[in-house]
Chain A
C-alpha cells in the first residue's frame, strides 16, 4: 500500500514537472521570437533592481495597504513552499513529517509560523475577492478584463484559499491522530490554528482520521502541482517572470525614446553621400507591425503582466475615457504572441494568418491617444514598459503605412519647411527679441 502511494506520487510529480518545463520552454521560445536587444550591461544595478523591485516589491508600496496584503500572499506563497519540500520528500520516501526529528522544537515553531501565514493568506484572498467582485474597484471593472482574465484572477484566489484550508485541515487531522496514538504519526503536539479544528474530529476513529489526513495531503500536493501547470496560462506567471523582468528593466531615464540606428544612418548617408556604403541596402522594416518586430524584452514584458491595471488607472488617456489602455496593450501583445507561437508550433515555421498585432489587436485610435507621459511605466509594479510597444507601433503606422492624422501631416510639413511645428516663417523665430 505504502509503495503504491510512493510510486503514484513519483509518477504524478514527474509528469507535472515535465509538463511545466515543456510549457515554460515554449514561452521562452516565444519570447525569443522578438528582436535582439542587448541588456547585459550594469549587472550590479540590475541585481539591485531584482532585490528592490521584484523581491522587495518597491512599486507596490505606492499603496501601502494593498502592498502589505499582497506581501502576505507572496510571503505565504514562498515560505509555505518550504513545507512543500517536506511534503515532496515525504511523498518520495514514504516518510511522515520527515523534518520533525532533525529539527526538534524548531519544527513546531516553523509549522506554527506556516499556519499563521496560511490564515493570513486566506484572509487576504477573501479581501481580494471582495475588492474584485463586490467593491468593484475601477481598475478591476474595466472591459480589458472581460471573460477569461476576470475568471483567471478569481480562480487563483479561490484555489489559494482551498490549498491553505487543506493544509490546516491536514494538520488538524494529524493532531487528532496523535491524541489517539499512532506509531507513524509523530507527537508534534497541536498547532496554533489547526488546534481549533481538532475538536471537530473528536468522534472519529484513527483509520477515518488517517483517511482525512491522507486525502488532504494528496489534494494539497495535487493542488500545488496543478497550480504550477496553471501558471503558464495565467497572469500569475508574474510570480516567476517578475524576477527576470526586473533584472532586464530599463536603466535609462524614462524620457528617452529608443534610437533607430537604421534611420539615423539613412539620414547620415543622405546628408553625406560619400559615407554611404556601396551595394544594395538591406530592406528593413520600420517600427513594429507584429510581435516578431518587437524586442524580446517587450515580449517578456507581455508575459510578466499581472493585469493589475495600475498603468491604465494612471493613464491620462484612459482616465478621460479614450480607448487607449496600456494594460490592454500588454494583454494584446501576449495574446498575439501565444497565437503566433502556436502557429509556428503547428506549421514548423510561421504561416501567414492574415493577422497582425497592429490593427487586428491594437487599433490606430488607441495608439493615437498616447501622450507619452510615462505614467504607465512609472506605475507598473513589475517593470513593464507599455510605452515602448506603443512607440514601435506608431513608428510603423507613420513610416510603413504613411498613416497619420491630417494635422500631424501638416505638422511634419511645417517642421520640414519652416523648422517649427507651426506654419510660421523661420525668419520670425527671433522676432520676440525686438519686443523687449
Chain B
C-alpha cells in the first residue's frame, strides 16, 4: 500500500479531502504505529482521499508547552503552521487526542485555523453514514469491552459519546468503569508525564487505572489515544494479565471488523 503525501498531491496539482496528522507517537512508537496502520487501512478501504505530511510533520509542541516550555512550543507551532498553511490545509484528522486538542484549541490564535476532527468522531461519522461496513456481527460481537476516556478527548473537549458509538456499532458488551466519562481517571501520561518518571507516591497512576479497567472483567480495554494505550498496556503487563486482556485502539477494533 502506498501512503500518499501532501508533497505528492501538490506535485500532481491535487488536494486531498483531509490531512491525516499521524503525530509523533503514531509515527515512531512501535505500538502506536499499529494504530496508525489500522487507521490508514480504514481510510483506504472506505476510499477517502487523504494525505500525510510524511517527513515534513513535526511535534505539535504539546509536551513542551505542558511541561512549561512555551518557547519550544511556540517554535514548533510556528513551523507547523507554516507548513500546514503552505499546503493550504483545510481539514485535519488525527488519532492522537493531544494533537487534536492543540490544533483545535491552541493553534487558531497563532494563525493556524483548520477543521480538526479526532479519529473517534471521524470513525463514528463513517459508520453513521454507512461508509464502513462491518462483517456480519463483527469480530467483537457480545465481547465484554471497557472504554478508557482520554482526558484530552473527554474533559478537555467533551467527546464522550463518539468512541462509545463506534464500539456500540460493533455490538460489543460495553462495561463502564466506575470512574468514566467526565469522572474518568487519567492514565498518567498527560502534561508531559509520559517523558519522565512519576514523582514518588504509593502507586503509579497507570497501575491504578489499569486495575480499575481489569476489575470490570473486560477482555479488551479500548482506548482512543496512543499514550493511554501505552500506559494501560504497561499496567496490564504489571498485573501479568497480558495473555487474557488486550489494550486496543478503537481504530484497530474497527479495522479488524471491516468486511
Residues of chain A at the chain B interface (Cβ within 8 Å): 62, 252-257, 259-260, 263-264, 266-268, 271, 286-287, 314, 316-317, 319-324, 365, 368-375, 377-378, 391, 394-399, 404-405, 407-408, 410-412, 415-416, 419-422, 424, 426-433, 435-436
Contact B200 A430 (CB under 8 A): no
Q: What 1/0 flags go to B20-55 for Cβ under 8 Å of A?
A: 001010111100010011001100000000001011
* A255 and B101 within 8 A (CB): yes
> Is B201 a contact of A259 with CB atoms below 8 Å?
no
Let me know if B203 is at the binding interface, CB within 8 A. Answer: yes
Residues in A whose Cβ lies below 8 Å from that of B155? 254-255, 373-375, 377-378
Known: A252-B105, A395-B70. A370 touches B191 (CB 8 A): yes
A373 in contact with B68 (CB, 8 Å): no
- Is B243 close to A, CB under 8 A? no
Return the chain B residue nearest A410 by Cβ: B195
Given contacts A368-B199, A436-B37, contact A320 B208 (CB under 8 A): yes
Q: Does B151 contact A (CB under 8 A)?
A: yes
Q: Which residue in B40, B59, B183 is a CB contact (below 8 Å) of A421?
A: B59
Q: Cβ of B151 and Cβ of A263 under 8 Å apart?
A: no
Known: A267-B78, A399-B69, A420-B27. Is A316-B157 also a contact (CB below 8 A)?
no
Is A404 in contact with B156, judged by CB distance below 8 angstroms?
no
Whether the pair B66, A257 counts as a contact (CB closer than 8 A) is yes
- Separation in Å of the A198 CB from the closest CB of chain B? 49
Q: Shortest beta-carbon distance, A262 to chain B, in Å?
A: 9
Question: What residues of chain B lie closer than 8 Å to A405, measured between beta carbons?
Answer: 196-197
B196 touches A407 (CB 8 A): yes
Q: Is B109 an interface residue (CB 8 A)?
A: yes
**B3: Cβ under 8 A from any A Cβ:** yes
Q: Indicate whether A432 sits within 8 Å of B196 (C-beta atoms), given known contacts A256-B106, A371-B205.
A: no
A411-B63 CB under 8 A given contacts A259-B109, A394-B68, A399-B68: yes
Given the interface contacts A317-B205, A372-B66, does A255 sit within 8 Å of B157 by beta carbon? yes
- Beta-carbon nearest neighbor of A287 in chain B: B68
The 5 closest A-B pairs by CB, nearest first: A255-B156, A321-B202, A372-B191, A394-B68, A321-B201
Give the distance to chain B from A285, nearest Cβ to Cβ, in Å: 12
B205-221: which have CB < 8 Å to A? Answer: 205, 208-209
Inter-chain contact A429/B55, CB cutoff 8 Å? yes
A253: which B residues are within 8 A, CB to CB?
A: 101, 104-105, 156-158
Give CA–CA (A259, B78) in the complex, Å.
13
- Interface contacts beyond A320-B198, A375-B151: sample of 12 additional A-B pairs, CB < 8 Å, sorted by A: A256-B156, A268-B78, A322-B200, A324-B199, A365-B199, A372-B151, A377-B155, A399-B70, A405-B196, A415-B61, A424-B28, A432-B27
Cα-based distance from A428 to B55 in the complex (angstroms): 8
CB of A374 within 8 A of CB of B199, answer no
Q: How far in angstroms is the closest Cβ of chain A from B258?
A: 14
Which residues does chain A contribute within 8 Å of B185, judged by CB atoms?
316, 319, 375
Instruction: Judge whether B199 and A317 touch: CB under 8 Å.
Output: yes
Contact between B195 and A411, CB atoms less than 8 A apart = yes
B203 and A436 within 8 A (CB): no
Q: Is B58 an interface residue (CB 8 A)?
A: yes
The docked-state distance in angstroms from the alpha carbon of A210 to that of B101 is 68
Of B22, B58, B186, the residue contacting A316 (CB under 8 A) is: B186
The answer to the question of B152 belonging to the interface, with a C-beta cut-off of 8 Å to chain A, is yes
Given contacts A374-B155, A429-B27, contact A398 B41 (CB under 8 A): no
Give complex CA distance A212, B72 in Å: 72
Instruction: Note all chain A residues with C-beta closer than 8 A to B71.
Output: 263, 266-267, 399
Closest chain A residue, CB of each to CB of B61:
A415
What's the minimum C-beta distance from B187 to chain A, rounded to whole angstroms?
8
Report the Cα distance A247→B211, complex, angstroms. 39
Q: Which A residues touch B201, using CB under 8 A?
A: 317, 320-323, 369
Once the chains bind, are B208 and A263 in contact (CB under 8 Å)?
no
Q: Smallest Cβ distance from A100 to chain B, in angstroms?
A: 49
Bound CA span A371–B190, Å: 5
* Nearest-CB residue, chain B, relative to A256: B105
